[in-house]
Amino acid sequence: MPTLTPPESDAALARRLAAHAGELLLRVRSAHGHGDPAALKAAGDRASHDLLLAELASHRPDDAVLSEEDKDSRAVGHVDAGGRLTADRVWIIDPLDGTREFSEEGRSDWAVHVALWARGASTPHRLVAGAVGLPAQGRVLATDVPPTPPAPSADAAAPLRLAASRSRPPAFLADLAAEIGAELVPMGSAGAKIAAVVTGEVDAYVHAGGQYEWDSAAPVAVATAAGFHASRVDGSPLAYNQADPRLPDLLVCRQELAAPLLAALARQLSGAAAPGGSGVPSTGGVPSTGKDTR
């Protein structure tokens, strides 16, 4: 008897779609060149969006979709919002995260995000599958095979490395870095920044300058599947598939850094930063909080 091929899992589908959309974006980038950045951005956004929607309609026709490029699904407070607010399963996608970097020749810090939210999931964020494609870096990070977190640096004196926006860093981030003795590492898209946390290129990503659900859903799904901490900057859970898709801030870091970073953030955001150090460990240190900050 012929061997039946098992159906593709949601996580495997997310990985495949992120990879295929990324391959398409590389072709679009090559075909258009960088002479007209605005046209290149628009062509990339549209091509990737159309591919992802067509694939999801073919392979998960009963699921809803929230996409940055779909004005109906992302309408704030819309009673229907493309059907996603009453759906049990919603794919949250960013067809091209980091359009500015995509349009700049030689830059690789842009991404494709594909995540699945499920109403019945047990985790606070309810993200059950996700993939971040980094096409110009030749890799996809996904929840079907979660990345293995790198070991902390053996150099106890090394400063923490915080991923920071190239163009829109939060106003308090420089003060936070100064308080905890960290260095800022400028990068492009949110997906590239969180991927850098997961792979150990940086230690944390802090953002409070305004984002949407599609900016973080897929990378948060990958990071938490790999055992990293992800929350709002006040420590509250990240929530997805909300009527208002704005999700303006987040912290992603190794588990042992979460409590001291959240404490330092609380001081910065309240305007009560303590001079002379925050108790946040250097890259190699581990705070003795005794708390599970997952």
- CA dist 134 and 18 (Å) reads 8
Distance between CA 290 and CA 192 in Å, rounded? 31
- Per DSSP, 136 falls in state G
pLDDT of residue 141: 98
DSSP symbols for 216-248: HHHHHHHHHHTT-EEE-TTSPPP--S-SS-B--
Asked if pLDDT for residue 187 goes beyond 80, the answer is yes
Question: Residue 238 above 60 pLDDT?
Answer: yes
Q: What is the structure's pLDDT at 279?
A: 45
Q: What percent of the chain has pLDDT over 90?
A: 71
pLDDT digits (tens, 9 = 90+) for 52-100: 999 999 999 999 999 988 877 766 665 566 689 999 999 999 999 999 9
Q: What is residue 158's predicted lDDT score, i.e. its pLDDT?
A: 81
Mean pLDDT of 147-153: 76
The sign one gets for the Cα dihedral 223, 227, 228, 230 is positive
Q: What is this structure's pTM? A: 0.87
* SS3 call for 13: helix
**pLDDT for residue 167 is more than 80:** no
**More confident of the two residues 195 and 276:** 195
Instruction: Report pLDDT digits (tens) over 189-222.
Output: 999 999 999 999 999 999 987 899 999 999 999 9
> With contact defined as beta carbons under 8 Å apart, do 11 and 143 qualify?
yes
Residue 72: the pLDDT is: 72
